[in-house]
Amino acid sequence: MCALFARRTGLFMSASEKKLSSARLSQPTNAFVEEFTASVQFDQRLFRQDIQGSIAHATMLSQVGVLTDAERQAIIKGLTQIETEIDAGEFNWSIAQEDVHMNIEARLIQLIGETGKKLHTGRSRNDQVATDVRLYLRDMIQPIRRELLRLQSALLDVAEREAETILPGFTHLQTAQPVTFGHHLLAWYEMLARDAERLDDCKKRLNSLPLGAAALAGTTFPIDRELTASLLGFDRICRNSLDAVSDRDFAIEFNSVAAMLMMHLSRFSEELIIWSSAQFDFVDLGDAFCTGSSIMPQKKNPDVPELIRGKTSRVYGNLFNLLTLMKNQPLAYNKDNQEDKEPLFDTIDTLLGSLRVYADMMAGITVNADNMRNAALKGYATATDLADYLVRRGVPFRDAHEVVGLSVAYGIKQKKDLSELSLAELQQFSPHIDNDVFDVLTLEGSVAARDHIGGTAPQRVRQAIGQARQELANLSKD
């Protein structure tokens, strides 16, 4: 089993290979245990951040006199070569060395000899991995934010194009009041804007340096943590050594933000799935984002939104995984924390891919405006407008509500929309109704009447789009 696993992952163990951390143990680690406890299969993706952190650590050690400048230069040269080897696919990852940190250190010793053994002075794998994961997550938030911004921009493009396209607004999935498709997409935009703020807040909180906490209690060497933080671009240092090595709040917070963002994408997906069905036929997602059926040649399945709706549960599971992982851990570091990486990495990959494909899909969406408008005519969407009209004529709201209810019931029997009823038919329910009632009973009149900030009037929709574009432009400059 171990050999098969090694062949599949490209990770091999040499009988003569000495594990750097095995001096205390009197017997070699059981082969299966060695494989079972190793993390290099998945944490090797941290190699760039591990090398970055090691270069900063070596630089700091030379500044405080623990390393000579010649030793620092040798270490940096060796680490740079290792990074080149990994990028070229020429690095030999080994399960025997357990993780990304020990693999890189072992190779460094091979390259530069005894000096390589000095790199780990004043640190532990506990604070090293905590630093690597923070660096990695910080780096990955940037492309996530870029894809999120690209999706927001795509939404604004469609919203501007469809600022006057009438769409039924729904409550309880029943026709409620008319809105425009542009206005509806701006609701999606607002959700994503909050997600962007949460990502930025998460990035601020995770940007604290654990390195220097060593195993759990700090180190006796005269380290300069502020210097290391500056070299690595951290805003601050973790103030307590116990918390520094055991804290995974930043990973949980990111997963929480990601779960909420995916929940929003799932809500969008649900609407797109409904709207693209033959029963609605409001939108077309583009053939590139759909698939056919293996047996029914007429089918065009909305696979991308369906899959994102499904992947949302995967991200939820990763969040619960991390919460459960941490809920009963005593201070400080425990081996349990090796299990933090796979759910975090999976969430990063899932979120990044989902945002990318969604931005691409939204850029190519087309709208069936006639079907949207006809649907808005079917549910007496302007009933509230008639009630508002009567209130402005001095009718108490509750009486106006009753009048409109009777009018709708009559329209249903006659199979007519309110706007299709004659003045005489409407006046049988209230003498306060006059010819100008038809200005508010049309779909366009209803939408235009809501001419305030956050309203459905097309001019307000365009105004909101302009403000949103300015927000995104300012973010792009950051």
Among 158, 53, 171, 54, smallest CA distance to 116 is for 54
Output the 3-class SS for 104-117. Answer: HHHHHHHHHHHHHH
Whether residue 154 contacts residue 363, with contact meaning beta carbons closer than 8 Å, is answered with yes
What is the C-alpha to C-alpha distance for residues 319 and 262, in angstroms, rounded to an integer?
Answer: 12
pLDDT of residue 5: 37
Report residue 293: phi and psi, to 5°.
-100, 150
172 is catalytic: yes
Structural domains in the chain, CATH included, are 29-121 (1.10.275.10), 126-210+241-373 (1.20.200.10), 378-477 (1.10.40.30)
Tokens of 106: 């072992």
One-letter identity of residue 7: R
Q: One of 14, 16, 26, 172 is an active-site residue; which one? A: 172
pLDDT of residue 182: 98
Tokens of 96: 């025997």
DSSP three-state, residue 127: helix
Residue matched to tokens 């938030």: 141
Q: One of 21, 293, 313, 476 is an active-site residue; which one? A: 293
Question: How deeply is 399 buried, as exposed, middle or buried, from its count of CB atoms within 10 A (0-12, 13-18, 19+)?
Answer: middle
Tokens of 141: 């938030």
Whether residue 166 contacts residue 178, with contact meaning beta carbons closer than 8 Å, is answered with yes
* Cα→Cα distances 439→164, 183, 271, Å: 17, 21, 31
Q: Which residues fall within 8 angstroms of residue 268, CB to CB, at 6 or more apart?
A: 188, 305, 358
Q: Which residues fall within 8 angstroms of residue 155, CB to CB, at 6 or more apart?
A: 185, 186, 188, 189, 192, 362
> Vertex 429, ends 428 and 434: CA angle to 5°?
75
Question: How deeply is 404 buried, as exposed, middle or buried, from its count of CB atoms within 10 A (0-12, 13-18, 19+)?
Answer: buried
Tokens of 357: 């494909």
Q: Which residues fall within 8 angstroms of residue 47, CB to CB, at 6 or more apart?
A: 83, 86, 100, 104
What is the C-alpha to C-alpha distance for residues 125 and 131, in angstroms, rounded to an integer?
Answer: 10
- Give, for all 478 residues of the chain, the pLDDT tens digit: 344 334 334 554 443 456 666 555 556 667 777 788 789 999 999 999 999 999 999 999 999 999 999 999 999 999 999 999 999 999 999 999 999 999 999 999 999 999 999 999 999 999 999 999 999 999 999 999 999 999 999 999 999 999 999 999 999 999 889 999 999 999 999 999 999 999 999 999 999 999 999 999 999 999 999 999 999 999 999 999 999 999 999 999 999 999 999 999 999 999 999 999 999 999 999 888 877 666 665 668 899 999 999 999 999 999 999 999 999 999 999 999 999 999 999 999 999 999 999 999 999 999 999 999 999 998 888 999 999 999 999 999 999 999 999 999 999 999 998 989 999 999 999 999 999 999 889 999 999 999 999 999 999 999 999 999 999 998 877 6
Task: Say what angle helices 249-275 and 125-161 make with each other, to 10 degrees.
Answer: 30
Going by DSSP bridges, is the β-strand pair 174-180/166-171 parallel, antiparallel, or unpaired?
antiparallel
Among 357, 360, 376, smallest CA distance to 368 is for 376
Cis amide bond preceding 468, omega within 30: no
* Cα→Cα distances 10→94, 339, 381, Å: 9, 21, 62
What is the C-alpha to C-alpha distance for residues 455 and 450, in angstroms, rounded to an integer?
Answer: 5
The count of residues in the chain is 478
Whether residue 462 contacts residue 185, with contact meaning beta carbons closer than 8 Å, is answered with no
What is the C-alpha to C-alpha distance for residues 277 and 294, in angstroms, rounded to an integer?
Answer: 18
What is the C-alpha to C-alpha distance for residues 418 and 49, in angstroms, rounded to an integer?
Answer: 65
DSSP three-state, residue 438: helix
What is the C-alpha to C-alpha distance for residues 31 and 13, in angstroms, rounded to an integer?
Answer: 10
Tokens of 387: 């009630």
DSSP three-state, residue 209: strand
DSSP three-state, residue 23: coil
293 is catalytic: yes
Tokens of 347: 């969430």
One-letter identity of residue 293: S
pLDDT of residue 26: 55
Please report which residue ranges of 15-99 form alpha helices under DSSP H.
Answer: 31-37, 40-43, 47-63, 69-87
Tokens of 40: 């290099």
> Vertex 399, ends 396 and 403: CA angle to 5°?
130
Q: What is the DSSP letter of 17?
A: P
What is the C-alpha to C-alpha distance for residues 49 and 185, in angstroms, rounded to an integer?
Answer: 38
pLDDT of residue 16: 41
Q: Model-level pTM?
A: 0.90
What is the C-alpha to C-alpha distance for residues 20 and 105, in angstroms, rounded to an integer?
Answer: 9
